[in-house]
Structure 1
Amino acid sequence: MTMIDAVDLFCGAGGLTAGMRAAGIAVRAGYDIERQCEYAYTENNGAAFVAKDVTSVEADELRAWYRPGRYRLLAGCAPCQPFSTYNQGKDTRNDRKWPLLYAFRRLIEETQPHLVTMENVPDVTKHEVYHDFVAGLRAQGYEIWEGRVHCVDYGLPQQRRRHVLLASKLGPIVLIEPTHKGQPVSVEEAIGKLPPIAAGECHPDDPLHRAAALSYLNLKRIVHSKPGGTWKDWPPHLVADCHRKASGKTYPSVYGRMKAEEPSPTMTTLCYGFGNGRFGHPNQHRAISLREAAILQSFPKDYVFLPPDKINFKSVGRMIGNAVPVRLGEVIGESLVRHVRAFGSDQQPAQEDRIRA
């Protein structure tokens, strides 16, 4: 265990927390407005969950989580919807999630952690709020590394790209070098050993290894779907009316199967639905199960999201799709741990705290 205490803002089901803990960081608490995430967060991570809007969090309560003599890390992965490519061209300034980066910046200014990290969609860099956030960090004396991360280069079995920022008051900081460059982890390697199930079934030994039911028509469609192919591979009588139109022909990435030998597409909140993207199982006639989706997000195979009798696709799918992949959280954590070992000292945090006091 390193000398880093962390608080995870916008913690969700705990993907970032789980990754940072795996890297040796002591995550003391997570904050999120979604109360449904509390079970997953606390059951898997042993940290406190605070159900609170980050805009109403005060600096004093954050400071209380940090122990004397420890390096303080404040992590915050604000909801990405306002910055998503799906919203390009729309005026999202009135979205209630829009001010959250400003709230995060305020808490950094008021608590002055030694270390900061944030993660978001790549297009966050196209927005003024992000540049204001970075400028605020620089004005407070933080050294910054920022860049687009292709998660497959770090062993995530998923073609997910994210923007990551690391900031430190200890010295120059960088993300660790890719660990799997040119050697991606495939869907088969990640989920190939899970027991087979049919559409609409749940495995008796794992309540999360359940697949959504398919209509008779969609079952016919998935039988005719090729790994990596599209609905254009189907017999004409199975093609949906919307795809027969000129506008529908530009959406080939729905009703698709994954390729077993390649990483999966990006997991979304609807990753359990065959018609919602390329979420068909490579060789079984169904969409991927919730457990398979979680594994493709690099959650441990025994990670729980809701009590077994309360599991539903919409709630768990949302937690999985919105999560920071655990492996990316671990990469961020490893980068911070390595940085502290290179630039920190066991005495510095205690000395600085006495000066501030």
Structure 2
Amino acid sequence: MKVLELYSGIGGMHYALRESGVAAKVVTAIDINPVANAVYRHNFPETILMNRNIESLKVQELNKLDLDAIFMSPPCQPFTTLGLKKDALDNRARSLLHILDLIPELKSLRYILLENVKDFGVSQMRNNVVNCMENCGYVYRELIVSPCQFGIPNSRNRYYLLAKRKNLNFCFKQPLLKNSLPSELLKLLPKSKHSTLAQKNGKVNTKSGGMCYTLENILENIEESKYLLPSKLLQKRAWVLDIRTSENNGSCCFTKGYGHYAEGTGSVYCPFSDEMIKLKYNEASNRENNSDKRVQLLSDLKLRFFSPKEVCRLMCFPGDFNFPKHITDRQKYRLLGNSINVHVISRLILLLYTENET
């Protein structure tokens, strides 16, 4: 199977394809972000990588690739509150509209996998995609999936569309589009190291209702001072932080603002117990705002950002993935925030590729 990886970023879809075990090859990857492309090229030097605007793609050049599949994660900003939810009218949605114009002319194309933020599922653009699928003779399935449903201690609800030619069968019926993967679908998938670890020593995750392993399993030995939250941040944002310990089995979605903004961009780590955190916060709340004593009490908790490596592990990038030396931590967080969960996509590739119900 020949795969075109659009909006290829740092190669999350490529790693997911490799993890799935499906006999396939990424024949070309395309992205316009030069920093992301540097990371992609570093990890996949053998893959043809084009640094270009997707809107410049022509039907003729794609047909020459004899493509079987397109995997893509288009820009999410048109469907987010921060992006003003301009939907299909957003200039950043134009490249996906262009792809929808090309799909009817791609003669060999059989499979499509699209990932985006949850609100894509209620957008006009989603309607455009579905109309394209129906008009071009594809059947499709839509899912809302989060890594915590697979035993991974991270919440990252995302919309997925899986589509294939009508002469190909899906191994499952369209489930209700809700914030969880039906248990019968999970049973279709093979055991993984994540589900095995979660069953072995995990805890019930309140988000998914299933078992997730603890954050202890993704922590690395690092120089804490490098990632400690600065005093100014503690003064202003200490009460909006999502704090996690090694014994917790969940974390918030990491976004591209992580490490730069504190609120709503991801969880932070504390090396002490939940009881100690509560004690210190209670003490601090009795001190004057912005007082040195209050800041010291909060600083005693040694709150830090999760390292880029730890975020990579939560997003299931394999151990051999790494960043070029010139990439800064801030760039790493931005790239990871725009990427995908490798393991989740690998399972969805299996569901897309499998035809017979088991």
TM surpasses 0.5: yes
Contact 1:85/1:123, CA 8 A, preserved across alignment:
no
Contact 1:80/1:120, CA 8 A, preserved across alignment:
yes
SS in 2 for 1:43: helix
Q: What do residues 278-336 of structure 1 show as CA deviations (whole Å, max 9, x unaligned)?
A: 4311315321111111111111133123x21x121222111111001111221122223
Q: What do residues 210-249 of structure 1 show as CA deviations (whole Å, max 9, x unaligned)?
A: x3x543455xx4xxxxxxxxxxxxxxxx4x3xx7xxxxxx
Q: Which residue in the other structure is 1:272 paired with?
A: 259
SS in 1 for 2:101: helix
Which among 10, 14, 32 is matched to residue 11 of structure 2? 14
Normalised to the residue count of structure 1, the TM-score between the two structures is 0.73
Q: Is 1:290 equivalent to 2:277 in the alignment?
A: no
Alignment of 1:99-248 (within 5 A): 99-112=94-107, 113-169=109-165, 170-173=167-170, 177-178=185-186, 180=195, 182-189=210-217, 191-192=218-219, 194-200=220-226, 211=227, 214-218=229-233, 221=234, 238=235, 240=236
Contact 2:9/2:335, CA 8 A, preserved across alignment:
yes
CA distance in 1 between counterparts of 2:213 and 2:332 reads 24
Go from structure 1 to structure 2 and tell me whether the alpha carbon gap of 1:274 and 1:133 turns closer, same or farther (over 3 Å shift): closer
Contact 1:256/1:274, CA 8 A, preserved across alignment:
no
Contact 2:31/2:54, CA 8 A, preserved across alignment:
yes
Shift of 1:102: 1.1
Go from structure 1 to structure 2 and tell me whether the alpha carbon gap of 1:141 and 1:271 turns closer, same or farther (over 3 Å shift): same
Paired residues in the alignment total 289
Shift of 1:94: 4.9
Q: Which residue in the other structure is 2:43 paired with?
A: 44
Shift of 1:270: 2.3
- Identical aligned residues as a percent: 22
Q: Is 1:54 equivalent to 2:62 in the alignment?
A: no
Q: What do residues 60-105 of structure 1 show as CA deviations (whole Å, max 9, x unaligned)?
A: 2223333xxxx700122111111124346x5455532122221121
Q: What do residues 164-207 of structure 1 show as CA deviations (whole Å, max 9, x unaligned)?
A: 11111132325782365712233222x13x2142122xxxxxxx
CA distance in 2 between counterparts of 1:29 and 1:56 reads 15
Q: Which residue in the other structure is 2:198 paired with?
A: none
Q: Is 1:73 equivalent to 2:69 in the alignment?
A: yes
SS in 2 for 1:199: helix
Q: Root-mean-square deviation (CA), in Å?
A: 2.5
Q: Which residue in the other structure is 1:28 paired with?
A: 27
SS in 2 for 1:195: coil
Alignment of 1:80-91 (within 5 A): 80-87=76-83, 90-91=85-86
Contact 1:17/1:329, CA 8 A, preserved across alignment:
no
CA distance in 1 between counterparts of 2:213 and 2:81 reads 26
CA distance in 1 between counterparts of 2:168 and 2:34 reads 37
Stretches of structure 2 that go unaligned for 5 or more consecutive residues are 173-183, 190-194, 196-207, 272-301
Go from structure 1 to structure 2 and tell me whether the alpha carbon gap of 1:255 and 1:273 turns closer, same or farther (over 3 Å shift): farther
CA distance in 2 between counterparts of 1:26 and 1:158 reads 29
Shift of 1:264: 1.5
Stretches of structure 1 that go unaligned for 5 or more consecutive residues are 201-210, 222-237, 244-250, 344-357
CA distance in 2 between counterparts of 1:333 and 1:28 reads 17
Contact 2:170/2:354, CA 8 A, preserved across alignment:
no
Normalised to the residue count of structure 2, the TM-score between the two structures is 0.73
Q: What do residues 25-66 of structure 1 show as CA deviations (whole Å, max 9, x unaligned)?
A: 311111111122222213323422111111111122223333
Shift of 1:152: 1.4
Highest RCO, 1 vs 2 (Cα 8 Å, sep ≥ 6)? 1
